[in-house]
Structure 1
Amino acid sequence: MTGLLTGSKLGALALFGKGLWGLEQVYREDRGFCGTWSERWREAGEFYARTHQDPVNRALHIVGIPMIAGGALGMVALPRWQPLWGLSALSYTAGWGLNLVGHAVFEKNAPAFADDPLSFFVGPVWDLQHLRGKGRAASTAPLQAATQTVTHAPAGEPAVAR
């Protein structure tokens, strides 16, 4: 976070990626998780859902996460220290503020990514699905489709996904 705010673009992104990958490896090792990425995504989504029950916190996330994502994109894409870059930095910081207030004041827990690094990516997807009114069913539907196996049926009959 700080790297982007100080104008370091590639260094901040590289450090973020390396750190997130390392945290994911530690997560898998500590919990003895050996499943597929689809299973891991589902596990992270369920954890995210359990740690985001308060409606005010969820509303703050629905506003804050796009501010973070848009701000980060702006800080990476725009020339450093220009007015629009500053606006991006402000959006990024305010978005984090909304999310942290949501957890501290309303949810009364740490952000999900503090315990599960994949939640950093699962969270925005989960929030977007809820914003679109798809709710819980939508958050697991792509995972169910990705983990289904297709059985071969006799000639003339359709194959069945299980």
Structure 2
Amino acid sequence: MLKRALDLIGDENKRAGALAVGGMAALTAGFKGAGLAMFVKGARQIEERWRADHDFDGGFKERWARAVAFYESQHQDPTNRALHMVGIPMIVGGALGLLAAPSFTPPWAASAALFGAGWALNIVGHRRFEHNAPAFFEDPLSFLAGPVWDVKNLVSRRRAASAA
């Protein structure tokens, strides 16, 4: 049934994105194994399309540099950046809780709420302020670049504050 639904989506990138998002939805619905499998499959398909579209066959270091540069280019609005500084830790913490807590327990429910609220903040930032889609739909490494970007910005802010 999932394959039939995905086949209705004509664009391969959108289909891969839908699979990854469906995986996150399955994770928040308590289907940990299936959710992770769907997410990984969608992310892998997005990466394959990215490599084909960018004629890329380099190593991880070059790929990471491109992912971070792309992520940075998609997050220029200060309000969107602020929303991401709050939303990304919520997503990461929520995802870890969803994976670690037994499904349908209070810690799992709190993790699901945190995960959903973090995504809501990021989506509002992109729709209302940045006027673009989340970077993940074009570059799956954005899922890793986002938290790294958050930490980098926090560290640089603290250094600037302590230097002042």
* Alignment TM-score, normalising by the size of structure 1: 0.79
User: Could you tell me how far 1:22 is from its partner in structure 2?
Assistant: 2.1
Q: Which amino acid in 1 is paired with 2:72?
A: A
Counterpart check, 1:68 vs 2:91:
yes
Contact 2:80-2:122 within 8 A present in 1 as well: yes
Corresponding residue SS for 1:126: helix
Which deviations, in whole Å up to 9, do the C-alpha atoms of 1:12-54 show, x marking residues without a partner?
1122122212211121012211111110100111111111111
Residue of structure 2 equivalent to 1:16: 39
**Correspondence for 1:93 among 110, 113, 116:** 116
Residue of structure 2 equivalent to 1:25: 48
CA distance in 2, matches of 1:128, 1:53: 17
Q: Which amino acid in 2 is paired with 1:45?
A: V
Residue of structure 1 equivalent to 2:16: none
Counterpart check, 1:132 vs 2:145:
no
Q: Which amino acid in 1 is paired with 2:148?
A: V
Q: Which amino acid in 2 is paired with 1:127?
A: D
Which deviations, in whole Å up to 9, do the C-alpha atoms of 1:85-110 show, x marking residues without a partner?
11100000000000000111111111
Residue of structure 2 equivalent to 1:111: 134
Residue of structure 1 equivalent to 2:76: 53
Counterpart check, 1:120 vs 2:143:
yes
Which deviations, in whole Å up to 9, do the C-alpha atoms of 1:118-161 show, x marking residues without a partner?
11211211121011117xxxxxxxxxxxxxxxxxxxxxxxxxxx
Unpaired runs of 5+ residues, structure 1, are 135-162
CA distance in 1, matches of 2:71, 2:109: 31
Q: Which amino acid in 2 is paired with 1:37?
A: F
Q: Tell me which stretches of 4 or more aligned residues in structure 1 moved more than 2 Å.
A: none
CA distance in 1, matches of 2:49, 2:130: 26
* Alignment TM-score, normalising by the size of structure 2: 0.78
Q: Which amino acid in 2 is paired with 1:44?
A: A
Residue of structure 1 equivalent to 2:57: 34
**Correspondence for 2:103 among 52, 69, 80:** 80
CA distance in 1, matches of 2:36, 2:127: 27
CA distance in 2, matches of 1:82, 1:120: 26
Contact 2:46-2:138 within 8 A present in 1 as well: no
